[in-house]
Chain A
């Protein structure tokens, strides 16, 4: 029944992980080779992922029993519409890695490149595994791979301060992983199995009880921490601002989405069992999402450092996605799922562009970067396009999702949240006006800015490519939307509507 590509499911996870294990060995003579090696591994992974997505389109969701054991007997990998997020993830990695080749010249000595690229590959492999696994404990282990590599990637660039931000991230992340393990153990005790489908059936028989509710709450809190939602977002701004720019692009764009995909998986388990009446939880999600949007935008306005501002705007955009999921109406959920990808794309553009500017001039604050557009036209244009799309103005990808989530809000007749969504995001544009004015319409103050030259092509290529993707997806937004729609429609009956 399954096509040839279904065989590649485990290898798409294992390839980056094994690639990482080999990176130090491959790059022992010339540390710089690690960058090209990582890029090659990710390219092959992207090809495998596209094959898997093609298989998904052809035959619908499919699963793969590891070790030949039947599903609940051994571990089962399950590739469904939400795990299709693996393909854009791999593609974004393939675009970001070339940027880091030249960017790292100022960030670290050459001998520390192999472990850096090993961490990047581990991060990618961990995220791919997380999206594909169908086993609860396996989910926990993959989360650990992703989190551990993220903690280190944050601290790789700076000195003491970066280590301190990374440690804060580590403590909060470790506690949230422990909560997830605790919840997994509880479900294991209740249902005797670790396979998600089995657990869902088991829960169906048990019916709702406090243990089931507490396990759900523990999962929810754990994934909220991973997704940096409002009350537990404190670790994100420092971590993402201090990390080197390609790492910030990966963290803000994709690692944060691990929380969202995790939330979706738990939705699938709990709603499959129709165990919990989720109206109350949806409402809580909607409120948390709305508050995250406004709060993230509000804090972003007062930052002077570009990357710190971009980190806060991540919190605001995660608020979008959560608001969309919480609204539980078809359009809102479609908008939210597509925003998972669009936000990764836009945030990667912004962070890489900001990274190139910091790389060339050494400055990070708006007041120092006045008049940069004259000397770095393409990068500033990419920054402008990213700014316009992160706020969700029409010709860009960000608008498509904002439109659908707003539509969903009114469809679920939650009008006030529709208004909050539309105007909450405009808040952040106040910062972007300041940024665009500073870049384009003011005279340079420092001579580094006046004489800055455009970044070399290995850095400028990805930035320009991502910026044009933002525009293209703004107009051709239909492709991801039509892809996600069937998945959402067959998941919605679960949604506690």
Chain B
């Protein structure tokens, strides 16, 4: 049931405004923080205010501007969009707190926080995009806004990483543009409709090209295997950037795009008839296993997390590609589960580098004693990735397995099991070193007058996110929690053709 409401556009617009103000008044530390927090809270409030409606299946729509009949910028907060924006706005609040702590004394903070706010407001824009044009518009703006963050350190290596990042994402953007244009040409409209807008009448050949272009276009940011090259290299960015963008905003936009294409552009029946989804599922499966194996070999902490992100993202792509309701729930849920777990890990790694200056796995022997809280959070996150019950990760794997069986693709279950083992393979050694290995040389003592291991601004987000991981694990089915929103979203995906979401 569609309701015209201004909130879907207000959320991105307000955050853009605040981002502008951060640039404008950035010189003074107080005003900069004030506007960043203001943006985060207003957006959170707007999204939450729409939550009760979404749970009853209400969809808030707002047509912003019409270029020519049938083509324009429109916003639509459907269940799936709400889910994604809920995740990204909550995490934005925590990451801002973390970033303020982490970037203490760094220079060019005005530019950093300005573009930081811009990026996250674009993610909300992507979440609420009503059609492929608006989606693409925010998708590419995100690329431009993340570039200054990736290149923030201004070292030669950072510039190289930025160049590679842009080459990948812009070429991806080019493919996405071509895909979108061909969709409009074939389907006559771009608006995301639950049962998909393309039909068989436009010929299998064009449909294949459209699918290929869109999947490559969004796959670049979803870091599906052949297109993942930029992610590990972009780890050179400061940790808050890696945390939010490469664990939540940028990569999730890619995965979100892939699911939109599968469910809202092609539609489940069409894909089943065409059979394009299976090669994608195979590719995702391959990515999961391959990325995990590479992660085993990575000694640099953040690179290991990067490869783990690549494999986790392919869970989402795999869930979507299996085209069954349960697998779809897994895909949607995993957006939240992976986000909270991965962000905790990045926060912890950031805290370790900030307090002890250690960047490599081999260097963090016995850190458990020095930083007990952070390592506890890291452990919870690792358990979640391995899929131990009571953690968020378990729910995704559970639904994914059921989905795979439902799609009678039993060999995917093997992939899941293998990946869980591999996850254990590259996370448990870290825990083992942290807790059971004596420190090679004594850790720097606590600064006087500080009773926790790291500054509070770093520690609070870590603890909260770890708690969230557990919370999501336990309360998946309780209404009002992300789990229930995911249910509503999945129902809309599999609603029979012709019935509105």
Interface residues of A (CB under 8 A from B): 331, 334, 388, 393-395, 399-400, 402-403, 406-407, 409-411, 415, 418-419, 422-423, 426, 429, 433, 436-437, 440-442, 475-478, 481-482, 485
- Chain A's closest residue to B176 (CB) is A422
Contacting chain A: which of B63-71, B290-298, B313-321, B402-410?
B63-71
Question: Once the chains bind, are B171 and A426 in contact (CB under 8 Å)?
Answer: yes
B162 neighbours in A (Cβ, 8 Å): 433, 437, 441
CB distance from B371 to the nearest CB of A (A): 33
Question: Once the chains bind, are A418 and B178 in contact (CB under 8 Å)?
Answer: yes
16 sample A-B contacts, Cβ–Cβ < 8 Å, listed by A number: A393-B140, A400-B67, A403-B177, A410-B182, A415-B209, A418-B178, A418-B181, A422-B178, A426-B171, A426-B174, A429-B166, A437-B162, A475-B65, A476-B65, A478-B65, A485-B68
A388 neighbours in B (Cβ, 8 Å): 144
- Chain A's closest residue to B182 (CB) is A410
Does B133 count as interface, using CB distance less than 8 angstroms?
yes
CB distance from B190 to the nearest CB of A (A): 10
- Chain B's closest residue to A412 (CB) is B185
Contact with A along B158-170 (1 / 0, CB 8 A): 1100110010001
Does B430 count as interface, using CB distance less than 8 angstroms?
no
A409 neighbours in B (Cβ, 8 Å): 181
Q: Roughly how many angstroms separate A481 CA and B72 CA in the complex, as a whole number? A: 11
Question: Once the chains bind, are A437 and B68 in contact (CB under 8 Å)?
Answer: no
CB distance from B110 to the nearest CB of A (A): 10
CB distance from B442 to the nearest CB of A (A): 38
Contact with A along B202-214 (1 / 0, CB 8 A): 0000000100000
B174 neighbours in A (Cβ, 8 Å): 422-423, 426
Q: Roughly how many angstroms separate A441 CA and B166 CA in the complex, as a whole number? A: 15
B136 neighbours in A (Cβ, 8 Å): 394
Question: Once the chains bind, are B154 and A441 in contact (CB under 8 Å)?
Answer: yes
Question: Once the chains bind, are B159 and A441 in contact (CB under 8 Å)?
Answer: yes
Q: Roughly how many angstroms separate A436 CA and B170 CA in the complex, as a whole number? A: 16
Q: A407-B181, A441-B162 are in contact. List 17 more A-B contacts (CB 8 A).
A: A394-B140, A395-B141, A395-B144, A402-B177, A403-B177, A410-B181, A415-B209, A422-B174, A422-B178, A433-B166, A437-B159, A440-B148, A477-B65, A478-B72, A481-B67, A482-B67, A482-B68
Within 8 A of A (CB), among B122-154: 133, 136-141, 143-144, 147-148, 151, 154
Question: Once the chains bind, are A433 and B68 in contact (CB under 8 Å)?
Answer: no
Question: Once the chains bind, are A334 and B68 in contact (CB under 8 Å)?
Answer: yes
B139 neighbours in A (Cβ, 8 Å): 394
CB distance from A125 to the nearest CB of B (A): 33
- Chain A's closest residue to B180 (CB) is A403
Question: Once the chains bind, are A478 and B178 in contact (CB under 8 Å)?
Answer: no
CB distance from A376 to the nearest CB of B (A): 15
Tell which of A409, A422, A440, A485 has the most Cβ of chain B within 10 Å: A422
Question: Once the chains bind, are A477 and B171 in contact (CB under 8 Å)?
Answer: no
Does B184 count as interface, using CB distance less than 8 angstroms?
yes
CB distance from B66 to the nearest CB of A (A): 6
For the complex of A and B, the 9 pairs showing the least CB-CB separation, nearest first, are A394-B140, A394-B137, A410-B185, A478-B67, A441-B154, A406-B181, A422-B174, A395-B141, A407-B181
Q: Roughly how many angstroms separate A415 CA and B141 CA in the complex, as a whole number? A: 25
Question: Once the chains bind, are B67 and A433 in contact (CB under 8 Å)?
Answer: no
Does B395 count as interface, using CB distance less than 8 angstroms?
no
Does B73 count as interface, using CB distance less than 8 angstroms?
yes
A402 neighbours in B (Cβ, 8 Å): 177
CB distance from B430 to the nearest CB of A (A): 33
Question: Once the chains bind, are A429 and B181 in contact (CB under 8 Å)?
Answer: no
CB distance from A332 to the nearest CB of B (A): 11
Given A403-B133, A475-B65, A478-B65, residue A393 in contact with residue B185 (CB < 8 A):
no
A406 neighbours in B (Cβ, 8 Å): 177-178, 181
- Chain B's closest residue to A437 (CB) is B159
- Chain A's closest residue to B183 (CB) is A410
B154 neighbours in A (Cβ, 8 Å): 441-442
CB distance from A100 to the nearest CB of B (A): 29
CB distance from A468 to the nearest CB of B (A): 11
B209 neighbours in A (Cβ, 8 Å): 415
Question: Once the chains bind, are B65 and A422 in contact (CB under 8 Å)?
Answer: no
B182 neighbours in A (Cβ, 8 Å): 410, 415, 418
Q: Roughly how many angstroms separate A393 CA and B162 CA in the complex, as a whole number? A: 17
CB distance from A413 to the nearest CB of B (A): 8
B133 neighbours in A (Cβ, 8 Å): 403
B163 neighbours in A (Cβ, 8 Å): 433, 437
Tell which of A400, A407, A423 has the most Cβ of chain B within 10 Å: A407
Q: Roughly how many angstroms separate A440 CA and B144 CA in the complex, as a whole number? A: 14
Question: Once the chains bind, are B170 and A419 in contact (CB under 8 Å)?
Answer: no
Question: Once the chains bind, are A429 and B137 in contact (CB under 8 Å)?
Answer: no
B166 neighbours in A (Cβ, 8 Å): 429, 433
Q: Roughly how many angstroms separate A440 CA and B151 CA in the complex, as a whole number? A: 10
A422 neighbours in B (Cβ, 8 Å): 174, 177-178
Q: Roughly how many angstroms separate A495 CA and B218 CA in the complex, as a whole number? A: 37
B141 neighbours in A (Cβ, 8 Å): 393-395
B159 neighbours in A (Cβ, 8 Å): 437, 441
B144 neighbours in A (Cβ, 8 Å): 388, 393, 395
A433 neighbours in B (Cβ, 8 Å): 162-163, 166
Q: Roughly how many angstroms separate A331 CA and B141 CA in the complex, as a whole number? A: 24
CB distance from A254 to the nearest CB of B (A): 24
Q: Roughly how many angstroms separate A409 CA and B184 CA in the complex, as a whole number? A: 12
Q: Roughly how many angstroms separate A409 CA and B178 CA in the complex, as a whole number? A: 10
Q: Roughly how many angstroms separate A475 CA and B72 CA in the complex, as a whole number? A: 9
Q: Roughly how many angstroms separate A436 CA and B165 CA in the complex, as a whole number? A: 14
Q: Roughly how many angstroms separate A419 CA and B178 CA in the complex, as a whole number? A: 7
Tell which of B65, B67, B170 has the most Cβ of chain A within 10 Å: B67
Q: Roughly how many angstroms separate A409 CA and B136 CA in the complex, as a whole number? A: 18
Q: Roughly how many angstroms separate A487 CA and B126 CA in the complex, as a whole number? A: 34
CB distance from A289 to the nearest CB of B (A): 17
A440 neighbours in B (Cβ, 8 Å): 148
Tell which of A411, A442, A477, A482 touches B185, judged by Cβ atoms closer than 8 Å. A411
Question: Once the chains bind, are B151 and A437 in contact (CB under 8 Å)?
Answer: yes
Q: Roughly how many angstroms separate A324 CA and B70 CA in the complex, as a whole number? A: 20
A477 neighbours in B (Cβ, 8 Å): 65, 67
Q: Roughly how many angstroms separate A423 CA and B141 CA in the complex, as a whole number? A: 17
Given A403-B133, A406-B178, A418-B181, residue A478 in contact with residue B171 (CB < 8 A):
no
- Chain A's closest residue to B143 (CB) is A393
Question: Once the chains bind, are B137 and A426 in contact (CB under 8 Å)?
Answer: no
B73 neighbours in A (Cβ, 8 Å): 475
Q: Roughly how many angstroms separate A63 CA and B181 CA in the complex, as a whole number? A: 38
Tell which of A395, A406, A407, A441 has the most Cβ of chain B within 10 Å: A441
Q: Roughly how many angstroms separate A476 CA and B185 CA in the complex, as a whole number? A: 22
Q: Roughly how many angstroms separate A423 CA and B176 CA in the complex, as a whole number? A: 11
Q: Roughly how many angstroms separate A388 CA and B141 CA in the complex, as a whole number? A: 10
- Chain B's closest residue to A392 (CB) is B177
Q: Roughly how many angstroms separate A403 CA and B183 CA in the complex, as a whole number? A: 13
Q: Roughly how many angstroms separate A411 CA and B68 CA in the complex, as a whole number? A: 15
Q: Roughly how many angstroms separate A440 CA and B68 CA in the complex, as a whole number? A: 37
B137 neighbours in A (Cβ, 8 Å): 394-395, 399
CB distance from A373 to the nearest CB of B (A): 9
Tell which of B151, B163, B173, B178 has the most Cβ of chain A within 10 Å: B178
CB distance from A424 to the nearest CB of B (A): 10
Q: Roughly how many angstroms separate A475 CA and B148 CA in the complex, as a whole number? A: 22
B170 neighbours in A (Cβ, 8 Å): 393, 426, 429
Q: Roughly how many angstroms separate A263 CA and B177 CA in the complex, as a whole number? A: 29
Question: Once the chains bind, are B68 and A481 in contact (CB under 8 Å)?
Answer: yes
CB distance from B128 to the nearest CB of A (A): 15
CB distance from B338 to the nearest CB of A (A): 27
- Chain B's closest residue to A410 (CB) is B185
Q: Roughly how many angstroms separate A442 CA and B166 CA in the complex, as a whole number? A: 18
Q: Roughly how many angstroms separate A440 CA and B138 CA in the complex, as a whole number? A: 23
Q: Roughly how many angstroms separate A341 CA and B185 CA in the complex, as a whole number? A: 25
